[in-house]
Chain A
């Protein structure tokens, strides 16, 4: 009887199937507190057909698959198998930019395409793609989009899933479809292009929204093998202004006003620990910056591209400063420790080899969820209180408030740097992470992307949603092979 290894080799070629102990070990854990679990194999498909064959095989053999598109390091526990006998489906090798279309401002990318790679190619066409904050160098653009990592340009985030549009997905049952507008035509991109269709519209294809089955899913529904993304025009002029404040609440009115007035193609709020971590290149520099930076900063970027860019930027600069004045904040080109344009550059550029959040202490643990801007102070106060109780230095807690979906909600992120070599500190942060995750939920924080322990915390709050989620899983992954164990109650 053919072994599973042989079957995998038959589909993918032996060079793309690995059971090398070091490789398996590398995929057995990440930088989070997730419980390690060694996979059986790591496989590297090269195309969608192989992915589909692999999923069908997994259905036959009831083998769990864990899709991974970004290169290491990983931080959220989503790429660590939750059950034994899993196969890591490493898609990082599928890294082609399939098409770039300036007329439609669309690009189609495979899962292994990174931000650096894509931005360089787009820039040649006078375009760019919105990013999450300083993505890591190895980060898969497609994963970042599928997991709805918050974008810096919330005011262009018309759809919650923006700028992700259509995908090709092989669901857990082995069936492969195109989503969105791409689902309406033949299952062949070339043929669709010949008909003048450019996979622009994300919803659908029909009366249900198949894209939304795979977003925020941690690979638990299917494997995406390409995505079309909506690009922005590359700015010819850009400026970033910073509004310093003693308290986060001092910035609320200003941020709300900027959202209302639609100014700020970048718009976010950080405390000094977060900003220092973003800007500092070494632990020492970060420590120094924390010392001199204002407690809180709101960052507002404005830009112009093809339509009278100077005039646009000049008008917006005048207006945003006026709104700042009206709401009692100062809008500056620089604040102690940070120049606006440098903050912008850092924010949108991929991180270096070492991920920037690791610079301060070597490791970090994030807690993030969705709420509204006017509720953020409540969570911040609670986080600080819990840190004090846990003996964690509050001055080290990075706080990032990223308005999303045109400002109707915010991603609130607490980043807790720690020294991975100090077992006491590791324990302290682990306990604080668990306690704070629960407390934030109690206070109304919504874990839309429920990684690790947040899955249990969130789903325990909503029995009906969990019930429907199980039915969804049963529709698209009836054998429960896709990232088995994620998005469940533990």
Chain B
């Protein structure tokens, strides 16, 4: 959909504030009631999904120009998708996240991008990675010595897709390696794409660089097809979302699993058994792209149809993505299964989880905003009294590791695989 196609939504938004707060029914305190990092940090209405709808109308009508302020406002969105959930607690007819991304694409089309975005996209094009400085030549170094099958050379039941973060960052590489060993140890027949392993480009989509995303996605889909991939497992939530939702729209037809889903399944099947106690109290951060944005894509084509004069529906029935069926229980099941672990919940969880701040490319393009967003989460995590904040996404982990809460305190940040590893 082009930006102009969102006009009905823009004109039907009623400014209920649902896009700025966690679902009102879930509010437990003033401190952690809000949920839109963008307006939370910048404060002007413009930075909320509601403001973005209105800004688009003004842009399309020619009253507003894409000047620096507007460009920055458009791109200062982590594409975390919470606004979409908040909106759909009561509305069936607005797609705020799709609109936010389309608004970014509108700016990108006109060359209105942020300085910090440029090296990310340049590197995607040049080195097939969205980590500036990362070289294609080194992408699979992390996988040496893991006995992963190269799917272009031999068959395997499952393709392991590490993603850029796990592939390049030394501390995170160890986690990817641990994940592979864990699955292999449980008897999973694992392979990887070898030389064809490239960035999923999901973040390009989040940033509104839709052409760059599509180019990369099509290439990857072709690679998966050539390699005969039937199932992909990834420890990265961004990659997970890209494959499960965005690639599916472009024709990818493979089973996509996040590592937590697979590990949860293997624990239930008795193929992973814990032998050590991990005496810790932890709290779990739902990555946006695994949780509320982790729902499966359902193909749909249709049009709006009004019934009873003015009631909006779609013909045929249109799928509704509102985070209801994201991946929330699998990681919690794993944590609960590890001996010694006590799981305490933060106030903003599951479909209304607060973003880590790295989404939408903001960790590169708007580092202060991104750090503030992460700091908010650390404050929330520390308020639970937990020893550690656990997550299932390298972008989240990386953003949290350097963040401090409102009192300047840090918290230990763990990838869920690290905890599993400790218990083995």
A contacting B, Cβ–Cβ less than 8 Å = no
Residue numbers of A with Cβ under 8 A of B are: none
List residues of chain B with CB under 8 Å of any chain A CB: none
